Amino acid sequence: QASALSCCQVALRLWEHPYNKVCGDCGAANPEWASVNLLLVICQHCAGMTAHLVHVKIINAEGCVTAE
């Protein structure tokens, strides 16, 4: 699970950045997902639109889960 952990770390680093408080694709507020491939924080809708990419769902500043 080393890769999942690093994906989570990447996602949280993105999510914590003040620039990433809106979806990087559509601009929706408070996105909960991150695309590790695109290095973007994105909303649930946009995560669903790009399901072929690696996504993690951010739970809070310290944790996230990898999407199937």
Site residues (CB under 5 A) for Zn ion?
23, 25-26, 28, 43, 46
Nearer to Zn ion, 14 or 23 (CB): 23
**Distance set, CA 13 to CA 41, 49 (Å):** 10, 23
CA separation for the pair 5, 27 (Å, rounded): 27
CB of 18 to Zn ion, least distance (A): 18
Minimum distance, C-beta of residue 54 to Zn ion, in the bound complex (Å): 17
In whole angstroms, the minimum distance from the beta carbon of 7 to Zn ion comes to: 19
Closest CA to 47 of 19, 4, 9, 65: 65
